[in-house]
Structures are given as C-alpha cells and as structure tokens.
Amino acid sequence: MKFVLNDELIEDNTLPSDFSALRYLREKRGLTGTKEGCGSGDCGACTLLVGALEEGELKYSTFNSCITPVQSLDGKHVVSVEYLSDADKLHPAQQAMVEHHGSQCGFCTPGIILSLASLYENSQASDKTIDRESVCDAISGNLCRCTGYRPIIDAGLSMGKESAWSSLADNTESVKAKLASLQGDAKAANNYFQPQTLAEFLTIKADHKDATLVAGGTDLMLENTQRFHDFGVLIDVSQINELTKIEDNGTQLTIGASVTYSELEQFSKTRYPHLYHLLERIASRQIRNRGTIGGNVANASPIADMPPILLAFDADIQIISLDGSQRTVSIHDFYQGYKQTVLTEGEGEVIASFTMDLATLADFHRFYKVSKRMEDDISSVMLATRFAVTEGKISDLRLAFGGMAATPIRAKKAEAALLNSDVNDEQALSNALAILKDELTPLSDMRASARYRSDMACNLVRKAWLELNGHSIPTFSGHPVSDASLGYELTSNTSQSAQQGGASHA
Ligand SMILES: Cc1cc2nc3c(=O)[nH]c(=O)nc-3n(C[C@H](O)[C@H](O)[C@H](O)COP(=O)(O)OP(=O)(O)OC[C@H]3O[C@@H](n4cnc5c(N)ncnc54)[C@H](O)[C@@H]3O)c2cc1C
Ligand code: FES
Ligand code: FES
C-alpha cells in the first residue's frame, strides 16, 4: 500500500486487510486530530478527505475513515485536519468556524471542518457558489450535539466570499507530483487486492477463493467495527474499470455495480430527478461517496433503498463467475430469503452491472423514503412505484417496497387490483389498498411498528396514485402530510420499540 498522507509518502505492507484508515492515522501515525465517535459511519467525527487524480486534476471528497480499510486508499492523497493549517494560517473552513463560533466541545469539529473544506475546494475548482443547500449536503454526515447547526451553516456560507489562502491549493503541484510517482507502481499486496480490470479480478479470485469482496465497505466494515469479525483476504472491486461505468445505449441504461451513489446522483440529477432526490436521502455525503449500488444489492438488506427501485424498473443483474462466464438474473428472482441471494460464493460470483430498459424509465415513477431523520437515516418504509398508462387505463405497474418483509418485495396482489383500472378510479385504489394491508405483514422493530409501516405503505401508494392523477402532495420528513380531502390518515409511530432509535444497518 502506497499513498500520500498529508505531505508524506506512505508505504506499509504489514497491516491486516480490514485495518481502518482511522486506526492507521491515530495508532500508527499519531494523528489524533481525527476522532472516533460511533465507529459505524454515523457521526462523521472521523471524516477525512481523499484526493484522486482525475484527468490531471486533483478532486477531493470526504469519507468516514472508521469504516474504510486503509489499504483501499492506495494511490490517493489522504488529508487529515492536521494538514489544513500552516503556522499562523488557517484554511478558510477553519477560519469560518472560528469567526462564527461553530465549535464547542470540539469533538465533532475536525470532521465538520474537513466536510466544509471539501465543499470549499470543490466550489473553488468548479466556480460554484456555496449556498445553504450545498452546505447542508456537505455536513449531512456530521453530527454535532452541542453547538447546533446554525453557526456551522453560517460558517459554511461565509466561505469563499473572498480569495483566501488554502493549504490544499498551495500544495497541489507537489501532491500531484507525488501521486504521479505512485502511478504504475506494482502493488505488493498480500491480503488486500484492488484489481483494476475484470481479468485481473478473476485471476486474483482464482488464487484466493475464500476471499471476501468489498466495494465501499460501508456495510461490510461494520462487521469488523461492531462485531469484531476479522476478514482474511479482501478483494476490493471498487476500482474495476468494467464495473464503474454508467452507459445509456439508446435503449437500455446500464449501471456498473461499483458505481457510487455520488456518481449516480451526478448522472441522474437532470435526467432522472425522482431518482436523484431519492439518492439524496440515502445515508450521508461521506457514505454516498464510497457506498456502491452493487454493495447495496448484494448485501441483501430488506431495508436497502436501491432494490425497490430496481424492482420497479424490472432491472436485470449481470453476474460474472470465476471462469469468466456471465449470467443474467432478473431482480425479481435475485433475493431468496432474508439476506440470501442467488450469488454462489463457491463460483466466486460478482455482480458486474444492472440494466434497465429506457422505456420503463420513461414511465411515470415515484420513490418515497420514510425515515425518522431526513439526513443519514435508514428507511422505515420505502416505496418505489412505476405506472404505465394506456388510453386512460393503468396498463402496467409496480409497487415495490423496502422495510415491509424479509426481502425487498413487490406487492403483486395490490398491483393486480389496480391493473387495467381507469387511472382515476378511486374504488380500484381503495380495493388495492385493502388488499395491500393484508398482503404485506411487516415486523415491528426499533425503527417502526408493524401498524405504522402498514398504514404508511398504504398512504404512500395513495400518494403515488394521486400524483399520477395530477395532485401535488405535501410531505414532512418524507411523510405525506395529513389531508382528509385526499383520504390520508396519519398514524403516529408509537410502538415502544419504535421510540428507541438506534443505528444498525442490517
Ligand atoms: C451510516 C450509514 C448509513 C447508511 N444509510 C443507508 C441508507 O440510507 N440506505 C441504504 O440503502 N443503505 C444505507 N447504508 C448501507 C450501505 O451504505 C449501502 O448498503 C451501500 O450501498 C453498500 O455499498 P458498499 O459499496 O459500501 O458495500 P460493501 O460494504 O463494500 O459490501 C456489502 C456487501 O456486498 C458485497 N459486494 C460488494 N460489491 C459486490 C459485487 N460487485 N458483487 C458481489 N458482491 C458484492 C460485499 O462482499 C459485502 O457482502 C448505510 C450505511 C451506513 C454505515
Ligand atoms: S467514528 Fe462516527 S462516523 Fe466514523
Ligand atoms: S462541538 Fe460538541 S459535538 Fe460538536
């Protein structure tokens, strides 16, 4: 493993595969400015910047170092808070936090400063103005319990108004030169492999049949930090060229398994705004910078947010075996039970990509995520819908849910009740909702009671149907707001367990 840590060239081939970047900084380099709060990607105290060369330019993004294997940073520029200031000079993010009193206990502060520094550097590079939305996005994964966000947001908004000294900008050329010296270096890996091509991956996997695959590590690494599971050999699929592309060939959209949420956000912002807005509700900026679509689907959590969307669009999944052969499985057949998929470990299978017909993407579609917080929270209920309407009738539809069963699931009986009905037939909708109540039998857990989930599922289908019919439905925290004239009843999420909160990402 070789990377540039602040201004130092690092080479270390002695670490366990799952040794986190946070531990590396604190325990091996004595860089204790980076803090550990939750150890599970939830609080942002451990936020770092990672810079990569893209077409000759250095691009920085944030990540949670507590759940990032340090060896995944091979070839990158890693920036900790210690790098930002120089003698008496502060980075604009630091200066702004001082001027706006954005720090009290200071435990969350280094992470917040790095999130703001990332925003600052990217806005300088792209000439984009920093606004409230971009500040909130940048700090969406940074929990501050004592200062309150108002002064932090004010600090973010004040950055970039005047030209100022920045350690990152000041050292760009020397960092680029150091990174360039790492290019093409043979990697002396023994327990963490980062293949760049599918062919390389297959060779490595053949030699290490028991190795575990990792992409962003935002699910997998929690097994290490929360359950103390030691992974032996890890094969990192996040850099495999063939898996990192998004392609539109005029009839189909293909999304590579290693595409991150942040990359899909950029792609979908103007093309698929409903998808974009749903992606904004997934986790935090730090997690979205590393978490991948393939990891989300392969992890097979019943509360994952991408599977319902793929179900709504009848996506196909391309899977590659150890011998290089490819098979295609419909998303409808992919999940076999709780946390079980058709992927066969023994065959060394890897998800390569997801394909969807552009014709289905052109249908009316809506995705609704209901969670306790807008930012960085897991769905209590997630609905992805798609309706095709032909001559005033619903000619095709999908009602796909997360959080309502042991797997992501379609409500096929409720779908059947709406199929071929007039698009505005309220009786057909009522029948479908009555069926939906019986069809899905969700659990009560710390996020929501079964009753709440069930009522919310019906409300969300009603919301989609009303929007299909041209109504605009207000929401609050992702919940449809009560409106008797439109037939909403609001159910409070009152089960005792539902009030306990918690942050498992099962
Ligand atoms: C704080 C926090 C908030 C979160 N919020 C959300 C949320 O709002 N919504 C949501 O859906 N999820 C959320 N997650 C879960 C997680 O971020 C996502 O599931 C993410 O997409 C996982 O992708 P990854 O690349 O990090 O997967 P990894 O953790 O690297 O891998 C997950 C699993 O998939 C396997 N895998 C990875 N890539 C492949 C492949 N190409 N082929 C076969 N197997 C593969 C790995 O072996 C592993 O078993 C959250 C997680 C955290 C820590
Ligand atoms: S320590 Fe909380 S996100 Fe890493
Ligand atoms: S300043 Fe105290 S938690 Fe952030």
The predicted-structure confidence for 240-299, as pLDDT tens digits, reads as follows 999 999 999 999 999 999 999 999 999 999 999 999 999 999 999 999 999 999 999 999
Does ligand 2 have an atom closer than 6 angstroms to the CB of 66?
A: yes
Model confidence at 146, in pLDDT bands (50, 70, 90)? Answer: confident
Residue 300 above 60 pLDDT?
Answer: yes
Q: What is the model's pLDDT at position 21?
A: 98
Question: Would you state the pLDDT for residue 484?
Answer: 55
**Mean pLDDT lowest for which of 91-95, 107-111, 127-131, 135-139?**
127-131
Please give the number of the atom of ligand 2 that sits closest to the Cα of 67: 4
At 475 the pLDDT is 62
Beginning with the edge strand found earlier in the chain, give each strand of the sheet holding 246-248 in spatial order: 246-248, 252-256, 350-357, 316-320, 326-330
Is residue 480 over pLDDT 60? no
Residues 332-372 have pLDDT tens digits of: 999 999 999 999 876 789 999 999 999 999 999 999 999 98
- Decide if pLDDT at 206 tops 80: yes
Binding site membership of 38 for ligand 2 (Cβ less than 6 Å): yes
187 contacts: CB under 8 Å, gap ≥ 6: 1, 2, 74, 194
> In DSSP terms, which residues pair with 402 in a beta bridge?
382
Residue 169 CB neighbour total at 10 angstroms: 17
Is the pLDDT higher at 37 or at 494? 37
Cα–Cα dist 78/40, whole Å: 20
| The pLDDT value given to residue 313 | 98
Q: Which of 279, 287, 310, 354 to mutate to test the pocket of ligand 1 (most atoms within 8 A of CB)?
A: 287
* CB of 334 closer than 8 Å to CB of 340: no
The candidate with the shortest Cα–Cα distance to 460, out of 371, 330, 329, is 371
Ligand 3 centre to CA of 107 (Å) is 5
Amino acid at 209: K
Does 468 have pLDDT greater than 90? yes
Looking at residue 374, its pLDDT comes to: 83
Contacts of 478 (CB under 8 A, 6+ apart): 281, 368, 369, 370, 371, 374
pLDDT at 96 > cutoff 60: yes
H-assigned helices in 36-100: 92-99
Q: Tell me which of 11-20, 138-147, 477-486 is least confident.
A: 477-486
Of 158-167, 266-275, 476-485, which range is least confident? 476-485
The reported pLDDT for the residue numbered 54 is 87
**Which phi and psi (to 5°) does residue 135 adopt?**
-65, -45
pLDDT of residue 154: 97
Q: Which domains are delineated in the chain?
A: 1-185 (3.10.20.30), 191-362 (3.30.465.10), 364-506 (3.30.390.50)
pLDDT band at 486 (very low <50, low <70, confident <90, very high): low
CA quadruple 293, 498, 338, 398: dihedral positive or negative?
Answer: negative
Q: What is the pLDDT of residues 5-32, one digit of tens each?
A: 999 999 999 999 999 999 999 999 999 9
Spell out a b/e string for 26-59, using b for 16 or more CB atoms within 10 Å of the CB, else e: beebebebbbbbbbbbbbbbbbbbbbebeeeebb
Which residue has the least CA distance to atom 5 on ligand 1?
Answer: 283
- So what's the pLDDT on residue 329? 98
Burial profile 488-506: b = 16 or more Cβ within 10 angstroms, e = fewer: beebebebeebeeeeeebe
- pTM summary value: 0.93
**Nearest Cα residue to atom 3 of ligand 2:** 41
pLDDT band at residue 494 under the 50/70/90 scheme: very low
- Read off the pLDDT of residues 185-200 as tens digits, 9 standing for 90 and up: 656 678 999 999 999 9
Atom of ligand 1 nearest to the CA of 258: 41
How far does residue 504's CA lie from ligand 2's centre (Å)? 13
Position in ligand 2 atom list of the atom nearest CA 22: 4
pLDDT digits (tens, 9 = 90+) for 421-437: 999 999 999 999 999 99
Cβ atoms of 65 and 47 within 8 Å: the answer is yes
Give me the amino acid identity at 134: S
Mean pLDDT over residues 296-325, rounded?
A: 96
Altogether, the residues listed in the chain come to a count of 506
CA separation for the pair 207, 184 (Å, rounded): 22
152 in contact with ligand 3, CB cutoff 6 A: no
Between 205-214, 353-362, 480-489, the lowest mean confidence (pLDDT) is in 480-489
Q: Give yes or no for residue 39 CB within 6 A of ligand 2.
A: yes
Considering the chain, what is the average pLDDT of its residues?
A: 91
Whether 499 shows a pLDDT value over 70: the answer reads no
Query: With helix as H, strand as E and coil as C, how does 226-294 read?
Result: CCCCCCCCEEECCCCHHHCCEEECCCEEEEECCCEHHHHHHHHHHHCHHHHHHHHCCCCHHHHHHCEHH
What sections of 315-443 are H helices per DSSP? 331-334, 358-361, 412-418, 426-439
Q: Give, using CA atoms, the residue closest to atom 4 of ligand 3.
A: 144
Question: Has residue 140 got a pLDDT over 90?
Answer: yes
Q: Residue 478: is its pLDDT beyond 70? A: no
Spatial contact of 60 and 89, defined as CB atoms under 8 Å apart: no
336 vs 183: which has the higher pLDDT: 336
Question: Which atom, in ligand 3's list, is nearest to the CA of 104?
Answer: 1
Cβ within 8 Å of residue 401, ≥6 positions away: 308, 381, 382, 383, 384, 408, 409, 410, 411, 440, 457
Q: What one-character DSSP code corresponds to residue 89?
A: B
- Ligand 1: lining residues by beta carbon, under 6 Å: 40-42, 212-220, 237, 257, 282-283, 287, 290-292, 294-296, 298-299, 304-305, 343, 350-351, 376, 378, 505
Least confident range of 435-444, 449-458, 496-505: 496-505
Q: What is the pLDDT of residue 182?
A: 86
Please indicate whether residue 222, judged by its CB atom, sits closer than 6 Å to ligand 2. no
Percent of the chain at pLDDT exceeding 90: 81
Does 492 score more than 90 pLDDT? no
